[in-house]
């Protein structure tokens, strides 16, 4: 049906991709045609697209397809070189595909259904595949590409998107996790990210500034350090990392979450990301090791010590309740013990934390600071309770729910807004 696809150079689809199957499906094969339409509708519905689904699909294909040209343009925009000729060749084909929205299924059993999805209204726009900004920008780009009068303007529009957002999964998503499949380490997007911002974390201004300064140096290409955020539970260590991601995503920052049992996969991860134009933070939450665990050696080798130099676009950020990460015993510092070289044992256990150039402490708030956090959170959430009553209730809450911490304060406010304030609002209505 679409013979021109076989002439694509850079943006050639894999055999099992929808675009390839559309190209090689016979116009008389009704079953395959309807199956392709079903897949197109499902893909666009899952991504929250509306309007001309054919244009949205082609645009999604262009901004998600990773090749030598699109990867060269990510975060930097248009590039020079012979590869541009191949890109222009492919964009000329895609421009023709955009123009075929009305006649693509002409004369087939699917013609009427096809015309209906060119003016598609999705079930809901509350989709998690992309954030709303990315989804809306793809839909806008689809309209722009459809109206381009020549291949040059078509190319400029695609390059502008690559410059602003990037390409593929790393361009269109903020955060990622690891998954193993048939012995291969896959980096897959996390599609539902908590909307946490640094401004949401009450207090800890010195700690946040230290984290911000290091991150901005990293994004600017200046010398930056791996960071360890340590301290008491519920003080905002993990929230700070999420806040950093949300603040600097537009500048090409991406976060890959790695669990302790996946440390041996770090070299495979580095291989996949070291040549990309993004800045990656490998994030390890609640990192600590018992004495019998040895996987921390993989992390030590990555940070500093292996033959291969850690790429300049990668940093390690970790959070922990332990300052030294690896459990220590009093016997480690005793003069007599089974291990003849006591100092070597101590140094081995401290060597990991010493490879984090920046360590940032998050301590539990005192009573006055806790009360202030409660007041600020209550104001943000529209809690109209009298201050004295609010603080009194918060003090009772923290005694039974984990003590003084920002997390406890947030849980108390959630309880107030969801339980205590709801009946009052109902009475007012």
Sign of the CA dihedral with 34 first, then 40, 43, and 49 last: negative
* Residues 121 and 52 placed together within one structural domain of the fold: yes
DSSP letters spanning 174-204: SEEEEEEETTEEEEEEE-------GGGS-S-
Q: Could you tell me the CA-to-CA distances from 305 to 63, 296, 297, 352 in Å, in that order?
A: 38, 13, 10, 11
* Residue 181 pLDDT level (bands cut at 50, 70, 90): confident
Predicted local confidence at residue 161, as pLDDT: 95
Indicate the residue among 362, 383, 418 that finishes a domain. Answer: 362
* Residues 312 and 408 placed together within one structural domain of the fold: no
- Name the more confident of 122 and 187: 187
* Residues 156 and 278 placed together within one structural domain of the fold: no
Domain that holds residue 423: 367-428
pLDDT at 288 over 80: no
* Residues 378 and 289 placed together within one structural domain of the fold: no
* Residue 269 pLDDT level (bands cut at 50, 70, 90): very high
Predicted local confidence at residue 252, as pLDDT: 92
Sign of the CA dihedral with 49 first, then 54, 58, and 64 last: positive
Long-range contacts of 394-399 (CB under 8 A, 24+ apart): 394/370, 398/370
Predicted local confidence at residue 334, as pLDDT: 52
The answer to whether the CB of 402 falls within 8 A of the CB of 408 is yes
pTM: 0.84
* Residues 271 and 339 placed together within one structural domain of the fold: yes
* Residue 127 pLDDT level (bands cut at 50, 70, 90): low
Residue-averaged pLDDT of the chain: 85
pLDDT at 330 over 60: no
* Residues 42 and 103 placed together within one structural domain of the fold: yes
Average pLDDT over residues 408-415: 91
* Residues 168 and 179 placed together within one structural domain of the fold: no
Q: Could you tell me the CA-to-CA distances from 323 to 287, 301, 344 in Å, in that order?
A: 10, 20, 19
Nearest to 147 by CA among 137, 138, 135, 157: 157
Indicate the residue among 313, 338, 362 that finishes a domain. Answer: 362
Predicted local confidence at residue 11, as pLDDT: 97
The answer to whether the CB of 193 falls within 8 A of the CB of 283 is no
Report residue 195: phi and psi, to 5°. Answer: -85, 75
What residues are paired with 282 via a beta bridge? Answer: 256, 316
Task: Look up residue 12 and give its DSSP letter.
Answer: P
CB atoms closer than 10 angstroms to residue 308: 11
* Residue 424 pLDDT level (bands cut at 50, 70, 90): low
Predicted local confidence at residue 345, as pLDDT: 45
- Name the more confident of 332 and 23: 23
Q: Look up residue 331 and give its two tokens.
A: 């016997």
What is the H or E stretch that residue 56 is in?
helix 53-64
Average pLDDT over residues 393-406: 89
Predicted local confidence at residue 193, as pLDDT: 81
The answer to whether the CB of 56 falls within 8 A of the CB of 49 is yes
User: pLDDT tens-digit profile of 75-117?
Assistant: 888 888 899 999 999 999 999 999 988 888 888 888 888 888 8
Cα separation, 414 vs 374, whole angstroms: 11
Give me the helices (H) in 220-260, please. 237-248
Predicted local confidence at residue 325, as pLDDT: 62
Cα separation, 429 vs 51, whole angstroms: 39
Rg (C-alpha) for the chain, rounded Å, is: 27
* Residues 219 and 237 placed together within one structural domain of the fold: yes
Which of 59-68, 251-260, 380-389 is least confident?
380-389
User: pLDDT tens-digit profile of 208-246?
Assistant: 999 999 999 999 999 999 999 998 888 899 999 999 999
Residues ≥6 apart with Cβ < 8 Å to 247: 197, 198
Predicted local confidence at residue 408, as pLDDT: 92
How many domains are contained in the chain? 3
Which of 119-133, 207-221, 277-291 is least confident?
119-133
Predicted local confidence at residue 117, as pLDDT: 85
pLDDT at 412 over 60: yes
Report percent pLDDT > 70 for the chain. 85
CA 91 to chain CA mean position, Å: 29
Cα separation, 32 vs 37, whole angstroms: 9
Indicate the residue among 317, 332, 362 that finishes a domain. Answer: 362
- Name the more confident of 263 and 342: 263
* Residues 188 and 321 placed together within one structural domain of the fold: yes
Query: Half-sphere exposure of residue 382, counting CA atoms within 13 Å on the CB side?
Result: 6
* Residues 160 and 192 placed together within one structural domain of the fold: no
Please report, for the domain that includes residue 284, its CATH number: 3.40.50.300
Nearest to 270 by CA among 201, 185, 195, 347: 185
* Residues 164 and 224 placed together within one structural domain of the fold: no
* Residues 11 and 150 placed together within one structural domain of the fold: yes
What is the H or E stretch that residue 318 is in?
strand 314-320
User: pLDDT tens-digit profile of 131-146?
Assistant: 778 888 999 999 999 9
Mapped onto helix, strand or coil, the DSSP state of residue 235 is: coil
Average pLDDT over residues 237-256: 94
The answer to whether the CB of 171 falls within 8 A of the CB of 74 is yes
């Amino acid at each position: 049906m679409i013979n021109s696809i076989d002439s694509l150079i850079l943006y050639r689809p894999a055999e099992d991709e929808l675009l390839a199957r559309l190209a090689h499906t016979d116009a008389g094969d009704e079953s395959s045609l309807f199956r392709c339409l079903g897949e197109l509708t499902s893909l666009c519905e899952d991504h929250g697209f509306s309007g001309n689904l054919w244009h949205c699909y082609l645009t999604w294909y262009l901004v998600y397809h990773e090749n030598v040209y699109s990867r060269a343009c990510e975060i930097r925009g248009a590039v020079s070189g012979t590869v541009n000729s191949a890109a222009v060749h492919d964009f000329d084909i895609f421009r023709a595909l955009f123009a075929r929205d009305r006649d693509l299924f002409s004369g087939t059993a699917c013609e009427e259904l096809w015309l209906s999805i060119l003016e598609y209204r999705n079930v809901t726009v509350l989709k998690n595949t992309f954030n709303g900004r990315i989804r809306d920008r793809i839909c806008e780009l689809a309209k722009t590409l459809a109206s381009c009068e020549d291949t040059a303007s078509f190319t400029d529009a695609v390059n502008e998107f690559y410059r602003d957002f990037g390409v593929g999964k790393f361009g269109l998503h903020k955060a990622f996790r690891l998954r193993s499949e048939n012995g291969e380490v896959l980096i897959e997007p996390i599609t539902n990210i908590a909307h946490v911002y640094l401004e949401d974390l009450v207090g800890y201004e010195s700690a946040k500034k230290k984290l911000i300064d290091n991150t901005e140096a990293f994004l600017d290409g200046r010398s930056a350090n791996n960071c360890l955020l340590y301290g008491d539970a519920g003080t905002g260590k993990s929230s700070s990392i999420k806040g950093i991601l949300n603040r600097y995503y537009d500048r090409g920052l991406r976060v890959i979450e790695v669990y302790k049992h996946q440390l041996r996969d770090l070299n495979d991860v580095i291989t996949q990301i070291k040549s990309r134009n993004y800045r990656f933070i490998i994030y390890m939450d609640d990192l600590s090791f018992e004495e019998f665990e040895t996987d921390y050696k993989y992390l030590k080798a990555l940070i500093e010590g292996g033959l291969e130099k850690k790429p300049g676009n990668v940093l390690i950020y970790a959070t922990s309740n332990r300052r030294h990460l690896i459990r220590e015993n009093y016997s480690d510092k005793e003069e007599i013990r089974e291990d003849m070289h006591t100092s070597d044992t101590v140094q081995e256990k401290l060597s990991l934390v010493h490879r984090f150039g920046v360590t940032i402490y998050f301590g539990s708030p005192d009573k006055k600071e806790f009360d202030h956090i409660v007041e600020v959170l209550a104001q943000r959430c529209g809690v109209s309770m009298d201050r004295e009553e609010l603080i009194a209730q918060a003090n009772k809450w923290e005694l039974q729910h984990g003590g003084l911490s920002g997390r406890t304060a947030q849980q108390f406010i959630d309880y107030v807004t969801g339980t205590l304030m709801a009946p009052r609002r109902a009475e007012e209505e």
